[in-house]
Structure 1
Amino acid sequence: MAREQFGICAEPSLHGYYLLFNALEDKDNYLRQALTRLPALFAHYADQFSESNLTGVVGIGANYWDEFYPQARPKQLKPFVAMQNEDRVAPSVSYDLYIEIRSDRGDVNHIVSSKVCELLADSVELVEQVRAFRYLDGRDLTGFVDGTENPQGRHRREVALISDEEDQAFAGGSYLHIQRYRHNLPLWNSLEEKEQEDVFGRTKVDNIEYESEAKPLTSHIKRTNLKDDDGKSIEIVRQSMPYGDMKLQGLFFVAYCRSPEPFELMLHSMIHGEGPHFDHMLKYTQAETGAAFFVPSLNLLESLAE
C-alpha cells in the first residue's frame, strides 16, 4: 500500500519554510538519489525535535517531471494554467522542485532547510524561499480566518490523495498548486469592517459565514465554494500560510488535491467570475507566482534509489 508524504494532510503549523529550486544541467541522477534521502532527513529531525511536530513535503515540477522520472507520468499532471482577465492575473512560473518544511519552531525549520540545501548542493539553483508563519488563530494578514472550509479528519486524505482506482502507479500522491500572493494592506485597511466582510462573505471577528442569500456574488466565498453537477462541494486541502515583513506582506497559497481540476475551477471562478461578478478580494491582493507540482508517495521516492 502506498504511503503518502505526511506533510500533505498534516495539521496546521506555527512556522513554514518554502523552498523552490530549478535543477542544473546534467544533475538529474544526483537529484534522484538526493531526494530519496529527504524523507529520512525529515524523520531524523522530527525525532530529534519531537515537540516541534516537523513535517516535510517534496514536489516535482510539472514541467520537469518527464526529465526527472521518464518511466511514467501521473495521468492528470500538467503545467500551471496561467489566467488573466483585465487587471486580474494568475501568472505561471516554472519551478523544478518544491520543498515544504513546517513545524512549530522557526529555528528547527531553519536547521532542516539548511540541511536540504546542503544535500542538494550545486545540483540546483535556489530560485525562491519564503518564510511563513501562523498569524493569530489561523488568520490571513487581512484579519480573516484562512482555510475555514478545509476538509477535516480522514476526509482530508480522501480529498488530497490519489487512490489505486484513479492512478495505481501514483497512488498516495497528490497534485499540488502554489501561488504567492502579495497583499495591498494599506488599501485593504482603508475599508470599513463591514466592507471587508462583504468582500469575504463572512464576519471578521467571529468567522460566521453569511447566509446564502446575503452573500454578494463578488464575495470570496461565493467564488470559491463551488459545487459539482451532483451538488457536492468541490474541495481542496489548503496548507497556506501568511508571510511578510515591514515592506511586503501576503499569503503563500498551497493546495493539495487528488486532481488538478478543483483548483483550476476555483481560480477560474475568482478571475473570470460569473458574468461581471469576479472575486473582489483580487482588488486587494495579487498573485505574483503560480506553479504546479506532483507530490509522489514515499514508496515512489524510495524507488528512485534503485
Structure 2
Amino acid sequence: MGVRDPAPQPVLTRLTAAAIFLVVTVDEGGEDVVRELLPDLGGLNRSVGFRVPEGGLACVTGIGAELFGRLFAGPPPAGLHPFRVLEGPVRTAVSTPGDLLFHLRAATMDLCFELADQLMARLSGVAKVVDEVHGFKYFDERDLLGFVDGTENPDGRAAGEAVFVRGDDPEYAAGSYVIVQKYLHDMAAWHAVSVEEQERVVGRTKLSDIELPDDVKPANSHVALTTIVGEDGEERQIVRDNMPFARLADGERGTYFIGYAADPGVIEQMLENMFIGSPPGNTDRILEFSTPVTGCLFFVPSQDFLDEPPPAPAAGPAHDIGDHSLRIGSLKQKRITS
C-alpha cells in the first residue's frame, strides 16, 4: 500500500449562513497548552457538530509566524511571515497581532458559538482574543455594500489547486495560507453615490452580479485590480469566504475579508494593487469607502499535522520569521512570477 496523502483541514467547506472569526494571541509560556489543544481540535469539532449533524459545523485553524516558531522545531512553511503593512496614498493595510486564527462556520450561530466557547475554555489563562467577529449571510451572498461577494471563487479541482500547498513545500503539503482583514464601511458616503457609480467602483453590476465589460470597467475598480494573471497568462485564483458583520450600537458595518491560497503572494499582490496601485497611484476605489482595521497572515496546516504535531523546538531562540514592522510603500513587492 502507498503512503496516504495528508488530509487538509475543511478549508473548502461551502459558504454558510453563520461564522465566527477569532484571532487570538498566546502568552509566553502558553505553548504547551496550545500543543495539547491541536490534536483535540478535530474531536471537539465532531463532539459539538454531532449534536446537529445537518448544521455542517467546521473549524479551520491557522497559526501565525511568530507562534509557529515557538511551537515547532525546524524551518517554518516557506511562505509564512508576518502580515506586511502596505502604506498607500488613500489607505494603509495595517498589520495587527495574531498568533492563532479560528475560522468557525455552520448553518446556525449556536454551533459556532459552542465550539468557540469550548476552544477558549481550553486556552483559558494563556491566550487572549484580540479580535472577534460574528459574520452572517446577507440575503443572496451579498455584502453590506449590496454586491454579491465571492462570485469568482473556483470550485472542484481548481479550488484545491488554488488553496493547497503541493510538492514545492512537501513537509507542509495539504496546508494553506490565509490572510484576514476586517474592513469597516462608510455607509453614508457609499449611499451618497449612484448605483451606476457604485458599479464602476466594484466593476460588477449590482443587481445581476455580472462583471462589467473590459471597455467599460474602470482600471481602478475593485475587480480590475484584484484580478492577478501569472506570466503564463493564467489567472491566479484564491478562495474567499468573506462575511458581513455589524454592530448597531457602534454604528459599525463591515466585511470580514478572509482569503485562502496555496501561495500567500497571490493575495499579497492583490492587496498591493489595491493599496499601492497598479500602476502605482492607481488605487482601488473601494478604499474610498472601506477602511481595514486589522491584518494578519496565518498558515493552515493539514489535519494530519494537527493530529500529530512535530516536535517542540529546543530551548533557545526561535526560528527567524521576519520583521513584523516590514512596510511596503514606495518600494514594490516582488511580483507574482509563477
Contact 2:90 2:288 in 1 (8 A): no
Query: Is the counterpart of residue 272 in structure 1 residue 276 in structure 2?
Result: yes
CA RMSD, Structure 1 to Structure 2 (Å): 1.2
Report what 1:261 is aligned to.
265
1:4 match:
8
Which residue does the alignment assign to 1:231? 233
- For residues 91 and 212 of structure 2, the distance between their equivalents in structure 1, rounded to whole angstroms, comes to 25
Secondary structure in structure 1 of the residue aligned to 2:119 = helix
TM-score, length basis structure 1 = 0.96
Question: Out of 41, 57, 63, which is 1:54 matched to?
Answer: 57
2:178 — aligned with what? 176
Would you say the 8 A contact 1:63–1:94 is kept in 2?
no
Partner of 2:220: 218
What SS does the corresponding residue of 2:144 show, helix, strand or coil?
coil
Which position in structure 2 is the counterpart of 1:102? Answer: 105
- The gaps in structure 2 that reach 5 residues or longer are 312-338
Matched residue SS, 2:235: coil
> Is 2:238 the counterpart of 1:242?
no
User: What's 1:70 paired with?
Assistant: 73
Aligned to 2:333: none
| 1:131 corresponds to 2:134 | yes
Matched residue SS, 1:177? strand
User: Alpha-carbon deviation of 1:17?
Assistant: 0.5
Question: Where does structure 1 lack aligned partners over 5 or more consecutive residues?
Answer: none
Post-superposition offset of 1:138: 0.6
Q: What is the distance in 2 between the residues matched to 1:87 and 1:196?
A: 18
Is 1:40 the counterpart of 2:34? The answer is no
Quote the Cα distance in structure 1 between the aligned partners of 2:27 and 2:17. Answer: 32
8 Å Cα contact 1:61-1:94 kept in structure 2: no
The answer (yes or no) to whether the contact 2:202–2:223 under 8 Å persists in 1 is: yes
- Which of 190, 198, 201 lines up with 2:200 in the alignment? 198
* Other-structure match for 1:92: 95
Runs of 4+ residues deviating >6 angstroms: none
Residue in structure 2 matching 1:293, options 278, 286, 298:
298
For 2:326, the equivalent position in structure 1 comes to: none
Distance in 1, matches of 2:305 and 2:56, equals 24
**Correspondent of 1:282 among 258, 280, 287:** 287
What is the Cα deviation at residue 305 of structure 1? 8.4
**% identical equivalent positions:** 32
Q: Quickly say closer, same or farther: Cα 1:292–1:202, change in 2 above 3 A.
A: same
